[in-house]
C-alpha cells in the first residue's frame, strides 16, 4: 500500500474510533456459560434500564440509544456485578456462573476501566478474608501502617493504568473512590472489630489523626451512590458517628447501646444533618429502617414511634412504600397472630391457604427457589436433618420462583414429599407479606398461629 494511502487509512480508522466513542449510544453484549435464567437485567442505581433475553447460544445484547456516563450493574439471577459505561462504548463480557466474578472478562471499547474494577473487586474480597484473622487484631499503629501500605499499592496500580489508558475524569473518579472508600471503611470499623476479636477496647489508643481522612469525604456525589465501597463506608461511618456521639452525649453506659429505639432515632437524625445528596440519604434511611424493624425485634409500640419519626424526617423517601409495607407486614406477623391469608398451589394444581396447611399442627414453613440450585440442595438437606431431630414439627417448603414446571421437576429429582411442598404464583406478595428477607428464613407456627415469624433454619434449631 502506498505510504500516503496508508496514512489516510490510519487517519480514517482513528476518526471512526473517535466518532464511535462520541456516539451517545452504547452496545453491551456477552455470553453466559451455565446460565441460571433466560435473562440479563441492566440497572442504573436501583432502576431497571433494560433487559435482554439469552439466545440459543446463551448470548445477550443491549443496544442503548443514549445513556448518562457512570456506574451501572447487570444482574443474572444469583449474581450481579459492576459495569462502567460511557457514551460510545462497545463492550463484550464473558462469564461462567459457576465462578461468576473470577471468570468475568470484558473486551472492546471501555474494557480497561471495567476489567480494572472487577480485578479490584476480587482483590478486595481477598483482603477481606484476612481482615478478621490478621488485620483487625493488630494494634492501632500496625493496623494503620498495613492499611496505608495496601492502599498505596492500589494507588500505584491506578496511576499506571491512567498513564497507559486515556480514562475520562468520571472513570478516574470512580476508580479513585473505589480505592479510598475501601480503606476508609476498614478504619471506621477497626475499633469495634478489634474489640470483638481481642476483647480489648482500643478507642483511647487511636492517634489524633486516625480519622483525618474524614476531612476529604463527600456526602454529595451521586456518581458514588451505588459504588459498593462508598456505600459500605457510609453505613459504617454513620454507625460509628452515631455510636460515639450517642454513647457520650446520651450517657449510654458500658459501651453498650441498649435502647434500640433511642439509638436508631439518633441515627436517623444524624443522617438528616450530615448527608446532602437526596438518593444517598434515602438509601441510608432505608438501611436504618430495615435494620431496626427486622433485626431489633423491638416492641410493637416502639416500632410505631420509630416509623412516625421516619415519616417526619423522610416522608418523601423514594423507598417509602417499601418501608411502609415492611412495617405493616411486621405488625401482621407478630407472635400469637393468625397466619396471613395467603394461598399456594400443590403438585396437583389445587390451591390451599397457609392457614389450612398449618391448622392443628406445629409447622415450620421454609422457602426456596428454582433459580438458586445450590441453596435448594442445602436447604432440603437441612430439612432432612431437622425432620429427624424435631419430629414434633412438620416442615413445609414453599417455592418463591415463578416457574411451576421447574418447581415440579426439582421435586421429582430430589424425591421430595409432594404433600409438604407448595408453589406460589405470586411470589412478590408472598415475600412482602411474610417478610422473606433472607434465604434461610423460616416461620414457626402452631395451630395456624405464629410462634416466631423471624426464625432461621440454621440458627433457630
**pLDDT tens profile 317-332:** 999 999 999 999 999 9
Residue 8 has pLDDT above 90, yes or no: no
Query: What's the chain's average pLDDT?
Result: 90
Task: Give the mean pLDDT of 90-118.
Answer: 92
Task: Give the mean pLDDT of 95-109.
Answer: 90
Higher-confidence position of 266 and 252:
266
pLDDT level of residue 285 (50, 70, 90 thresholds): very high
Residue 446 has pLDDT above 50, yes or no: yes
Domain boundaries, the chain: 3-109, 140-332, 343-456
pLDDT level of residue 357 (50, 70, 90 thresholds): very high
Residue 403 has pLDDT above 90, yes or no: no
Share of the chain above pLDDT 90, in %: 78
Share of the chain above pLDDT 70, in %: 92
Residue 82 has pLDDT above 80, yes or no: yes
The 10s digit of each residue's pLDDT in 414-429 is: 889 999 999 998 888 9
Per-residue pLDDT, 296: 81
The 10s digit of each residue's pLDDT in 194-208 is: 999 999 999 999 999
Task: Give the mean pLDDT of 168-176.
Answer: 96
In angstroms, the CA 192 to CA 247 distance is 14
Higher-confidence position of 449 and 102:
449
Residue 136 has pLDDT above 50, yes or no: yes
Residue 20 has pLDDT above 50, yes or no: no
pLDDT level of residue 353 (50, 70, 90 thresholds): very high
Which superfamily does CATH assign the domain made up of 3-109 to?
Immunoglobulins (2.60.40.10)
For residues 23 and 82, the answer to whether their CB atoms sit within 8 Å is no
Collect all residues with Cβ–Cβ distance below 8 Å to 25 and sequence separation of at least 6: 63, 64, 65, 66, 67, 87, 88
Residue 4 has pLDDT above 70, yes or no: no
User: Among 223, 215, 226, 149, which Cα is nearest to 186's?
Assistant: 149
pLDDT level of residue 11 (50, 70, 90 thresholds): very low
The domain defined by 343-456 folds into Glutaredoxin (3.40.30)
pTM over 0.95: no
The 10s digit of each residue's pLDDT in 358-369 is: 999 999 999 998
Higher-confidence position of 275 and 374:
275
Residue 10 has pLDDT above 80, yes or no: no
Task: Give the mean pLDDT of 25-30.
Answer: 94
Per-residue pLDDT, 12: 40
Amino acid at each position: 500500500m502506498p505510504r500516503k494511502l496508508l496514512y489516510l487509512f490510519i487517519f480514517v480508522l482513528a476518526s471512526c474510533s473517535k466518532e464511535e466513542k462520541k456516539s451517545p449510544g452504547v452496545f453491551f453484549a456477552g455470553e453466559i456459560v451455565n446460565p441460571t435464567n433466560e435473562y440479563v437485567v441492566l440497572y442504573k442505581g436501583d432502576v431497571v434500564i433494560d433487559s435482554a433475553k439469552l439466545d440459543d447460544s446463551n448470548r445477550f445484547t443491549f443496544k442503548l440509544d443514549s445513556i448518562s456516563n457512570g456506574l451501572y450493574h447487570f444482574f443474572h439471577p444469583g449474581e450481579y456485578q459492576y459495569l462502567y459505561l460511557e457514551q460510545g462504548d462497545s463492550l463484550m463480557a464473558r462469564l461462567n456462573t459457576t465462578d461468576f466474578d473470577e471468570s468475568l472478562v470484558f473486551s472492546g471499547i471501555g474494557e480497561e476501566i471495567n476489567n480494572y474494577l472487577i480485578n479490584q473487586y476480587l482483590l478486595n474480597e481477598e483482603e477481606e478474608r484476612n481482615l478478621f484473622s490478621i488485620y483487625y487484631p493488630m494494634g492501632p499503629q500496625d493496623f494503620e501502617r498495613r492499611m496505608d501500605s495496601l492502599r498505596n499499592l492500589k494507588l500505584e496500580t491506578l496511576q499506571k493504568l491512567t498513564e497507559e489508558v486515556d480514562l475520562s475524569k468520571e472513570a478516574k473518579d470512580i476508580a479513585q473512590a473505589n480505592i479510598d472508600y475501601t480503606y476508609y471503611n476498614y478504619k471506621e470499623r477497626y475499633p469495634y472489630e478489634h474489640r470483638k476479636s481481642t476483647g480489648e477496647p482500643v478507642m483511647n489508643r487511636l492517634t489524633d489523626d486516625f480519622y483525618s481522612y474524614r476531612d476529604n469525604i463527600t456526602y454529595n456525589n451521586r456518581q458514588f451512590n451505588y459504588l459498593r465501597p462508598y456505600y459500605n463506608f457510609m453505613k459504617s461511618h454513620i454507625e460509628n458517628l452515631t455510636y460515639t456521639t450517642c454513647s457520650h452525649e446520651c450517657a449510654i453506659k458500658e459501651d453498650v447501646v441498649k435502647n434500640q429505639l433511642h439509638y436508631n432515632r439518633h441515627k436517623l437524625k444524624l443522617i438528616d444533618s450530615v448527608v446532602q445528596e437526596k438518593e444517598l440519604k434515602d438509601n441510608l434511611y432505608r438501611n436504618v429502617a430495615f435494620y431496626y424493624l427486622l433485626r431489633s425485634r423491638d416492641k410493637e409500640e416502639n416500632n410505631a414511634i420509630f416509623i412516625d419519626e421516619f415519616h417526619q424526617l423522610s416522608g418523601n423517601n423514594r423507598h417509602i412504600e417499601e418501608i411502609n409495607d415492611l412495617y405493616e407486614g411486621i405488625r401482621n406477623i407478630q407472635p400469637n397472630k393468625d397466619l396471613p391469608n395467603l394461598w399456594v398451589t400443590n403438585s396437583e394444581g389445587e390451591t390451599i391457604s397457609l392457614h389450612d396447611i398449618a391448622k392443628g399442627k406445629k409447622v415450620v414453613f421454609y422457602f426456596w427457589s428454582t433459580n438458586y440450585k445450590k441453596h435448594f440442595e442445602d436447604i432440603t438437606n437441612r430439612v432432612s436433618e431437622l425432620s429427624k431431630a424435631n419430629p414434633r414439627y412438620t416442615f413445609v417448603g414453599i417455592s418463591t420462583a415463578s416457574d411451576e414446571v421447574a418447581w415440579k421437576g426439582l421435586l421429582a429429582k430430589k424425591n421430595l414429599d409432594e404433600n409438604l411442598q407448595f408453589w406460589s404464583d405470586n411470589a412478590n406478595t408472598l415475600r412482602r407479606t411474610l417478610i422473606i428477607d433472607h434465604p434461610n428464613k423460616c416461620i414457626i407456627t402452631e395451630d395456624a398461629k405464629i410462634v416466631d415469624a423471624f426464625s432461621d433454619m440454621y440458627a433457630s434449631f
